[in-house]
């Protein structure tokens, strides 16, 4: 089944205080706000645009790997990449910072000392244009 496509949305004010939820598999202290999505991870089609935020001190404990492309723009705050399962160590980055990851790349774990907000794009893409 192919994705239906994301909706047409003109410039719309975004309420950055409400509508956040903990993504499946993430710990408390990390929330997402999905802006638009038609991603179907079972059919491996579609895309998602979201904000992801870390509260100060929040961290993940294991690397991530997924089968879609991911682009990440660190809008504000700090992000530590490569901490251990206790949230220690890793390399620190400050906004503005950008990453683009193809499918199958191990990345993380992640932590933020002071909190951060990222804008992320997730999408399936094949060289033939699908």
pLDDT computed for residue 3 by the predictor? 47
Give Cα 48 distance to the centre of its chain: 9
113 falls within a domain: yes
Average pLDDT, the chain: 93
Which pTM was predicted?
Answer: 0.91
Domain holding 96, by residue range, is: 30-123
Helices (H) and strands (E) in the chain, counts: 0, 7
pLDDT computed for residue 129 by the predictor? 56
pLDDT computed for residue 68 by the predictor? 96
Domain count, the chain: 1
- 85-88 long-range contacts (CB < 8 A, ≥24 apart) are 85/61, 85/109, 87/57, 87/59, 87/61, 87/111
pLDDT per residue as tens digits for the range 23-74: 999 999 999 999 999 999 999 999 999 999 999 999 999 999 999 999 999 9
Does the pLDDT of residue 88 top 60, yes or no? yes
Question: Contact, 6 vs 27, CB < 8 A?
Answer: no
68 falls within a domain: yes
Structure tokens at 118: 């990222």
CATH classification of the domain holding 110: 2.60.120.10
């Amino acid at each position: 089944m192919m994705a239906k496509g994301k909706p047409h949305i003109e410039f719309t004010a975004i309420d950055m205080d409400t509508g956040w939820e903990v993504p499946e598999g993430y710990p408390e202290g990390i929330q997402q706000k999905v802006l638009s999505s038609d991603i179907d991870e079972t059919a491996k089609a579609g895309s998602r645009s979201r904000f992801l935020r870390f509260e100060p001190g929040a961290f993940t404990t294991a690397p991530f790997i997924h089968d879609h492309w991911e682009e990440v723009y660190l809008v504000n705050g700090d992000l530590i990449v490569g901490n251990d399962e206790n949230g220690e160590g890793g390399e620190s980055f400050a906004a503005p910072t950008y990453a683009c990851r193809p499918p199958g790349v191990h990345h993380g774990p992640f932590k933020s000392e002071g909190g951060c907000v990222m804008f992320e794009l997730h999408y399936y893409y094949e060289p033939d244009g699908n």
